[in-house]
Amino acid sequence: MQQEDFTCQSLSHFPNTGAVAWQSPSNIALVKYWGKKPVQLPANASISFTLSNCYTSTKLSFTKSDTRRVQVFVDGQEKPSFLKKIETFFERIETYCPYVNNYAFKIETENTFPHSSGIASSASGFSALALCVLSIERKINELSDVDFYKKASFLSRLGSGSACRSVYGPMGVWGAHEHYEGSSNDFAVPYSDVHEVFKNYQDTILLVDKGQKKVSSTLGHDLMIDHPFAKNRFEQARNHMFDLQKIIKDGNILAFNRLVEKEALTLHAMMMTSDPYFMLFKPNTLKIIHMVWEKREADKIPFTITLDAGANVHLLYPAEYKQVALQFIQDELIAYCQNEQYICDEVGKGPLLKMEQYA
Ligand code: PMV
């Protein structure tokens, strides 16, 4: 499917009214995407675990209208402040989905986790919305499952880059890379050459700071344009993508640990060395990282830490260590989590269609 193949040619026989609902998960990148070109094209390829319990549920109700109108409700409350981002999304997708100009939309959405907390709510949010929009098109335009998810990923990307990976479980790859067949900058592809141990890998997210981020990822991505270390970083990510492929296939937890932690720390090192520089780590982020490393050393538990663009720490480990990990969190780490909060998640299977009705 080329870029132009994503355009829906027909405007007739669309339903007059209806509603569709999807549940779509967040994801946690192992090789990070940081730096982009217009519009929403990645400077390097990335790969992520799709999560299971951190998801957005979105219901999109629609009625024919002369012009596009949009209302957004988050947790039952109307949120006009979300409209700007959503309007930008609709403007970007209208070339590919011209029918969005002919509806009044009501978007009702809720997350199972706090938004703007460094957990990728934009990833789950935009993928859920893209899946809802595309479901309307599928009603009149026959799309195979492969093409449906490919276009859904393509549309999600135009809302938020990392969202395009959320469309697939257990892992998604976004960005053209010679070692990943079918990979593209335009959309993510599913990745399933995954060793058993990673299929239900655990991700316990230690919520260090649930506040609104001081520096948005959009700004952070832009700061990579003139970043003095950008070229080397993109080269490193390219090599990491290559190395991770074998690690994931072989179930090599030791090598996984070294690569994934290097990625997380490099991401934040890029932030700390951009102009202007900024730092998303909080004192408790560092405290937790050091405590995890000490525990790993002392008790030989294969813990890996990773971070998104935020202060929260994702603690990754094989499912067989779940009890040990939760005990460690309860006994020692919880004191460094905001309001003693953490979220237990694991690698998941991808989005779920919850409901659709058309008239
Ligand atoms: O999708 P965005 O623009 O929110 O960027 C997300 C970037 C990271 O989460 C830091 C890394 C990634 O690949 O998900």
For 43-58, what is each residue's pLDDT tens digit?
Answer: 999 999 999 999 999 9
Q: What is the pTM of this model?
A: 0.97
What pLDDT sits at residue 121? Answer: 84
Tell me the average pLDDT of the chain.
Answer: 96
Sequence letter at residue 38: P
Among residues 27, 314, 344, which one has the least CA distance to residue 170? 27
What pLDDT sits at residue 215? Answer: 83
Ligand 1 pocket list (CB less than 6 A): 29, 32-34, 46, 120, 122, 160-162, 217, 267, 308-309
Centre of ligand 1 from the C-alpha of residue 355, in Å: 29
Site of tokens 């990979």: 183
Beta-sheet pairing, 17-31 with 36-37: unpaired
Q: How far apart are CA 247 and CA 120, in angstroms?
A: 25
Centre of ligand 1 from the C-alpha of residue 64, in Å: 35
Percent of the chain with pLDDT over 90: 92
211: its two tokens: 């506040």
Cβ atoms 182, 322 nearer than 8 A: no
For CA atoms 209, 214, 218, 222, the dihedral sign is: negative
Q: How far apart are CA 238 and CA 247, in angstroms?
A: 15
- In our burial notation (b when 16+ CB lie closer than 10 A, e otherwise), range 190-204 reads bbeebeebbbebbbb
Cβ atoms 351, 167 nearer than 8 A: yes
| pLDDT tops 80 at residue 225 | yes
What pLDDT sits at residue 213? Answer: 73
What pLDDT sits at residue 286? Answer: 98
151-203 pLDDT, tens digit each:
999 999 999 999 999 999 999 999 999 999 999 999 999 999 999 999 999 99
Q: Name the band, by pLDDT with cuts 50, 70 and 90, for residue 120.
A: low
| Section 233-238 average pLDDT | 98
Nearest atom in ligand 1 to the alpha carbon of residue 32 is 13
- For a ligand 1 pocket test, name from 47, 162, 278 the mutation site with the most ligand atoms within 8 angstroms of its C-beta: 162
For CA atoms 151, 155, 158, 163, the dihedral sign is: negative
What pLDDT sits at residue 327? Answer: 98
Cβ atoms 52, 347 nearer than 8 A: yes
Q: At what angle do helices 230-250 and 253-272 cross, to 10 degrees?
A: 160
Q: Is 22 helix (H, G, I), strand (E, B) or coil?
A: strand
Beta-sheet pairing, 69-74 with 103-111: parallel
| Section 327-354 average pLDDT | 97
Cβ atoms 160, 56 nearer than 8 A: no
Nearest atom in ligand 1 to the alpha carbon of residue 122 is 4
Nearest atom in ligand 1 to the alpha carbon of residue 34 is 7
187: its two tokens: 């959309």
Among residues 218, 216, 176, 200, which one has the least CA distance to residue 47? 176
Among residues 271, 22, 311, which one has the least CA distance to residue 156? 22
Centre of ligand 1 from the C-alpha of residue 9, in Å: 32
What pLDDT sits at residue 117? Answer: 58
Q: What angle do CA 197, 203, 205 make, to 5 degrees?
A: 170
For the chain, state the CA radius of gyration.
20
Sequence letter at residue 183: S
Q: Which helix (H) or strand (E) holds 186?
A: none
Nearest atom in ligand 1 to the alpha carbon of residue 36 is 3
Centre of ligand 1 from the C-alpha of residue 72, in Å: 23
Centre of ligand 1 from the C-alpha of residue 3, in Å: 22
Nearest atom in ligand 1 to the alpha carbon of residue 28 is 14
| pLDDT tops 90 at residue 214 | no
Helix locations, the chain, DSSP H: 83-93, 121-140, 145-159, 196-199, 217-222, 230-250, 253-272, 283-299, 322-328
Centre of ligand 1 from the C-alpha of residue 247, in Å: 22
Q: Is 126 helix (H, G, I), strand (E, B) or coil?
A: helix
| pLDDT tops 60 at residue 116 | no
| pLDDT tops 80 at residue 118 | no
Centre of ligand 1 from the C-alpha of residue 120, in Å: 7
